[in-house]
Amino acid sequence: MPRPTLAGVGLLVLMGLVSGPTSAQETPAPAPVPPVQALNLSATSTDAGAAPNSSSHSTPKWAGEARTPGVGFEPPEPRFSYLLGAGLRSSPNYSGASGNRHHISPVWLVSYGRFKLSTGGANALLGYGAEMGGSGATATLLSLRDLQLNASLGFDNGRSSADDPRLSGLPDVRRTITGRLGLGLTLGYGWSVGTGLTQDLLGRDAGSQVDTSLSYTWQVTSRTRLVLGGGTSWGNGTYMNSHYGVPTGASSLPAYQAGAGFYSRSIGMSFTSAITPEWLIYGGLGGTQLRGPARASPLAQRPNSVSANLGVAYRYR
pLDDT of residue 135: 75
- What does the buried/exposed string (b/e) look like for 190-228 if buried means 16 or more CB atoms within 10 Å of the residue's CB? bebebebbbbbbbbbbbbbbebbbebbbebeebbebbbe
Between 16 and 147, whose confidence is greater? 147
Q: Is the pLDDT of residue 130 over 60?
A: no
Question: 3-state secondary structure string, 161-203?
Answer: HHHCHHHCCCCCECCEEEEEEEEEEEEECCEEEEEEEEEECCC
pLDDT of residue 124: 66
Residue 11 DSSP symbol: H
Residues 253-295: tens digit of each pLDDT? 999 999 999 999 999 999 999 999 899 999 999 999 999 999 9
pLDDT of residue 75: 58
* Average pLDDT for 128-142: 70
Domains detected in the chain: 80-316 (2.40.160.40)
The DSSP bridge partners found for residue 106 are 86
The pair phi, psi for residue 220, each rounded to 5°, is -65, -50
The pair phi, psi for residue 94, each rounded to 5°, is -160, 170
> Contact, 258 vs 246, CB < 8 A?
no
Report the amino acid identity of residue 10.
Answer: G
> Contact, 205 vs 238, CB < 8 A?
yes
> Contact, 139 vs 153, CB < 8 A?
no
Q: Is the pLDDT of residue 129 over 80?
A: no
Q: Is the pLDDT of residue 133 over 50?
A: yes
CB neighbours (10 Å) of residue 105? 16
Residues 178-190: tens digit of each pLDDT? 999 999 999 989 9
Residues 67-87: tens digit of each pLDDT? 444 444 555 667 899 999 999
User: 43 exposed, middle or buried (CB, 10 Å; 0-12, 13-18, 19+)?
Assistant: exposed
> Contact, 195 vs 215, CB < 8 A?
no
- CA–CA distance from 189 to each of 36, 37, 149, 163, 215 (Å)? 13, 13, 21, 42, 11
DSSP labels, 72-125: -BPPP-S-EEEEEEEEEEEEESSTT-S-EEEEEEEEEEEEETTEEEE-TTHHHH
Split at pLDDT 50, 70, 90, the class of 251 is confident
Question: Under 8 Å CB-to-CB from 58, ≥6 apart: which residues?
Answer: 40, 42, 46
How far apart are the two ends of the chain, measured CA to CA in Å? Answer: 42
